[in-house]
A and B are shown apart, each in its own frame.
Chain A
């Protein structure tokens, strides 16, 4: 009898679970790559996180302030930040991504040379900050001023581009789970950035991933930090609301 009740409870709970068909790219990987991500000692992205930890505490620039001088202990103060970004930047009155915020802090508040997009220093700091949100649910910033950029990202996602004339949605919504040659097509949820991609043999940003896809489509790339790139990130993070962050993820 108790078993029947238990079975009924499981069945009653199923439709709720079945409604969310979203899967992280993690679910599309082989067990070896999954194990590499989940074991911090094997995850190559953790080397960047460790480096980010050192950078966080090191005084830089004219101010000789470190990130920690203002923000204190990252595991507490940065918890949930990456789950919220991109956010609205009051200074520029425009959306800003996490990497952009770090560049801004470095240049304007610490008086240091602004780190380069996709450069080692910025990737290490971004992955360190994002790592503080690992296992937290993505919870996009609720700021009405982000709505138009989010809509712009949604439009970009379903616009055909390049000589091959694909849209993001045609592969990652309509054909997710299929194979492009050998490669499984994931659902394009940005749950683990910056992440270590085995194909790159490096840590890279979501915006680097955009470049990869677009060059495959023979389309003009979206440059890192551009309004288009941040709009697309806003849309994708919104689409992944509630999914857990994995930074630093590992992908094939």
Chain B
């Protein structure tokens, strides 16, 4: 019984935390500073990118992941992302890609307002946590175009 209460309290606090977004500033098509003030961990970022239920990235993108079968072909390859885009430009695309292209199919990874008909279990939650987004950014920045090296 007490355990159930404790669990409920934990769930409620998680929920309460999730309801506010860390403020960020968009300047010149980029969000220059880390959402958490901390640098990301590229190794953790890679894990999130290839996890289909977590990052969802490979449902649409392909990339330099030889061990991953069935990568999507709806979006550009992630290979060379770090050569094409700055860290801040990647961050804006992760946070809310519609700010770059209104018609994009890229889901917003850090947005809660302005979304319609969100399923109850995903309401008031962002697709990824801020530090997870920083981890993914750190990994994508490391994907340099081989030809340009």
B70's closest neighbor in chain A, by CB?
A182
Nearest CB in chain B: distance from A186 CB, A: 14
Please tell me if A57 contacts chain B, counting CB pairs below 8 Å.
Answer: no
Interface hits, B65-99 → A, CB 8 Å: 69-74, 98
Given the known inter-chain contacts A178-B72, A181-B52, A218-B122, please indicate yes or no for A165 contacting B108, CB distance below 8 A: yes
Please tell me if B21 contacts chain A, counting CB pairs below 8 Å.
Answer: no
Could you give, for residues 176-193 of chain A, a 1 whenever the CB lies within 8 Å of some chain B CB and a 0 otherwise? 001111100100000000
A216's closest neighbor in chain B, by CB?
B59
A179–B75 Cα distance when bound, in Å, is 10
Nearest CB in chain B: distance from A176 CB, A: 11
Residues of B within 8 Å of A221, CB to CB, are 119
A174's closest neighbor in chain B, by CB?
B105
A44–B29 Cα distance when bound, in Å, is 53
Q: Decide if A163 touches B116 in the complex (CB within 8 Å).
A: no
Given the known inter-chain contacts A163-B127, A165-B107, please indicate yes or no for A215 contacting B119, CB distance below 8 A: yes
A160's closest neighbor in chain B, by CB?
B116
Please tell me if B118 contacts chain A, counting CB pairs below 8 Å.
Answer: yes
Give the size category of A's interface with B: 20 to 34
How many residues of chain B get a CB closer than 8 Å to chain A's CBs?
A: 26
Out of B60, B69, B115, B117, name the residue touching A180 (CB < 8 Å).
B60
Q: Decide if A165 touches B115 in the complex (CB within 8 Å).
A: yes
Q: Decide if A181 touches B72 in the complex (CB within 8 Å).
A: yes
Please tell me if B120 contacts chain A, counting CB pairs below 8 Å.
Answer: yes
Query: What is the interface of chain A mostly: helix, strand, loop, or mixed?
Result: loop
Please tell me if A220 contacts chain B, counting CB pairs below 8 Å.
Answer: yes
Q: Decide if B72 touches A180 in the complex (CB within 8 Å).
A: yes
Q: Decide if B116 touches A175 in the complex (CB within 8 Å).
A: no
Nearest CB in chain B: distance from A231 CB, A: 14
Q: Decide if B60 touches A163 in the complex (CB within 8 Å).
A: no
Please tell me if A72 contacts chain B, counting CB pairs below 8 Å.
Answer: no
Could you give, for residues 48-59 of chain A, a 1 whenever the CB lies within 8 Å of some chain B CB and a 0 otherwise? 000000000000
Please tell me if A213 contacts chain B, counting CB pairs below 8 Å.
Answer: no
Out of B72, B107, B111, B116, name the residue touching A159 (CB < 8 Å).
B116
B71's closest neighbor in chain A, by CB?
A181
A164's closest neighbor in chain B, by CB?
B107
A165–B105 Cα distance when bound, in Å, is 8
Please tell me if A77 contacts chain B, counting CB pairs below 8 Å.
Answer: no
Q: Decide if A218 touches B118 in the complex (CB within 8 Å).
A: yes
Residues of B within 8 Å of A162, CB to CB, are 115-119, 122
Q: Decide if A179 touches B117 in the complex (CB within 8 Å).
A: no
Interface hits, A147-186 → B, CB 8 Å: 159-166, 170-171, 174-175, 178-182, 185
Out of A164, A179, A218, A219, name the residue touching B74 (CB < 8 Å).
A179
Give chain B's interface residues, CB within 8 Å of chain A.
52, 56, 58-60, 69-74, 98, 103, 105, 107-108, 111, 115-120, 122, 125, 127
Q: A160-B115, A220-B119 are in contact. List 8 more A-B contacts (CB 8 A).
A: A163-B122, A165-B108, A174-B105, A178-B74, A179-B70, A179-B72, A181-B58, A215-B119
